């Protein structure tokens, strides 16, 4: 173990004694199990670096992750020390044999489906032939080895089957095919679903007890046995009936395989939200661009956990909404950390005044969130 890693891990051990981690895990577990006897409703603060950056080297990712853990250790949220590898939109397409493309530091893939017939000549999913998947697995191995297995490690951000298929084809063609060429639609959806299951299982087997089965969000913890998580950003484009016929079967398949499912979508998918919540095996939704009130107005109830990203200034209204509707909300709050030139200032560079302002803001928040 390198000296800088040992020093940061030693600091983490001091900031997170076993009782602190156990208390936070108990809060999250009660939330997910629908229990209400909290000593404090759990929450986390938004991180100060780009968690979904896919261009970090393993060492860079480990360094910024350990620093982030230390930052939260100096606060009083329910952040559980763990490492999240990141996100590449090219991951699942590459497992399907599609070439990765880098565009201005971001990652996508070639569009390989020119005509419907091309779907039936796609290769079977392969982890061995996917350099992107291998890079992720090697990064996870690096985390285990360099920390001597002292920290849990999250699953990478894996896009859901519909959006993967649309990347290698197009949303227009994919959605049209669902109606006019259903055999082709279901063929490519089955291949993509099988690839998702394959890569999820590979990571789970690799990491064993260290595995954390959520990328929603990479700093968010959930108890064992809550299933998988996937992104379905295309939910904003579909009607409830389209969802039931063409999305739902594949979500159910993944949820049944892993004992549950958490579903993410960006944008406003309130039209489909009630159907998503009613889907067998769906335990949670993450509507990252909807307010808590919008979700409630769309039909969210305590039967489904809301993994929510919220504004610090909205804490009081959100807490009232939770109480009024008896909601279960896994909440992350944008927090007023010091910012310079549009970027978060590293904790080591905070002035005494900035530290005092952070602690005052935290105390104010805690006074609202624990009432």
User: What's the mean pLDDT in 329-347?
Assistant: 93
To 10 degrees, the CA torsion angle through 278, 280, 281, 284?
Answer: -10
Cα–Cα distance for residue pair 254/252, rounded to 1 Å: 5
Are 210 and 85 in contact by the 8 Å Cβ rule? The answer is: no
Q: Which of 5-19, 98-112, 146-160, 261-275 has the lowest mean pLDDT?
A: 98-112
Residue 371 pLDDT exceeds 70: no
Residue 297 pLDDT exceeds 80: yes
CATH 3.40.1010.20 matches 3-369: no
- pLDDT tens string 95-116: 999 998 887 777 888 888 988 9
Residue holding tokens 């579903």?
263
Cα–Cα distance for residue pair 336/365, rounded to 1 Å: 11
DSSP per residue over 219-261, as a string?
T----TTS-EEEE-GGGGG--HHHIIIIIHHHHHHHHHHHT-E
Cα–Cα distance for residue pair 202/121, rounded to 1 Å: 25
Are 121 and 188 in contact by the 8 Å Cβ rule? The answer is: no
- pLDDT tens string 120-131: 999 999 999 999
Contacts of 152 (CB under 8 A, 6+ apart): 80, 81, 82, 83, 210, 211, 212
- What are the structural domain ranges in the chain? 3-369
Q: pLDDT category, 38, cuts 50, 70, 90?
A: confident
Beta bridge partners of 349: none
Residue 213, burial from CB neighbour count under 10 angstroms (0-12, 13-18, 19+): buried
């Amino acid at each position: 173990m390198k000296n800088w890693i040992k020093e940061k891990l030693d600091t983490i051990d001091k900031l997170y004694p076993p009782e602190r981690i156990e208390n936070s895990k108990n809060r999250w577990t009660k939330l997910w199990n629908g229990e209400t006897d909290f000593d404090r409703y759990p929450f986390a603060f938004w991180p100060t670096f780009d968690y979904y950056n896919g261009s970090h080297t393993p060492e860079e990712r480990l360094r910024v992750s350990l620093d982030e853990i230390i930052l939260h250790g100096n606060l009083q949220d329910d952040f559980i020390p763990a490492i999240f590898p990141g996100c590449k939109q090219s991951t699942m397409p590459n497992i399907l044999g599609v070439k990765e493309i880098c565009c201005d530091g971001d990652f996508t893939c070639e569009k390989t489906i020119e005509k419907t017939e091309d779907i039936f000549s796609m290769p079977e999913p392969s982890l061995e032939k996917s350099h992107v998947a291998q890079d992720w697995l090697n990064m996870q191995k690096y985390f285990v080895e360099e920390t001597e297995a002292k920290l849990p490690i999250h699953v990478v951000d894996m896009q859901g089957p519909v959006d993967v298929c649309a990347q290698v084809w197009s949303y227009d063609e994919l959605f049209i095919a669902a109606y006019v060429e259903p055999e082709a639609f279901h063929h490519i959806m089955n291949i993509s679903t099988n690839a998702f299951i394959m890569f999820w299982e590979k990571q789970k087997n690799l990491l064993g007890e260290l595995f954390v089965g959520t990328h929603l969000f990479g700093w968010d913890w959930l108890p064992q046995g809550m299933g998988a998580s996937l992104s379905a950003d295309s939910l904003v484009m579909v009607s409830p009936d389209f969802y039931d016929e063409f999305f739902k079967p594949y979500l159910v398949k993944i949820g049944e395989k892993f004992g549950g499912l958490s579903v993410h979508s960006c944008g406003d998918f309130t039209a489909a939200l009630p159907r998503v919540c009613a889907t067998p095996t769906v335990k949670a939704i993450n509507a990252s661009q909807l307010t808590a009130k919008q979700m409630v107005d769309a039909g969210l109830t305590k039967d489904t956990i809301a993994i929510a990203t919220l504004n610090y200034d909205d804490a009081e209204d959100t807490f009232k909404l939770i109480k009024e509707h008896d909601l279960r909300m896994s909440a992350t709050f944008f927090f007023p950390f010091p910012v310079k030139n549009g970027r978060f200032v590293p904790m080591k560079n905070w002035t005494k005044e900035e530290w005092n302002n952070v602690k005052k803001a935290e105390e104010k928040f805690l006074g609202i969130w624990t009432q």
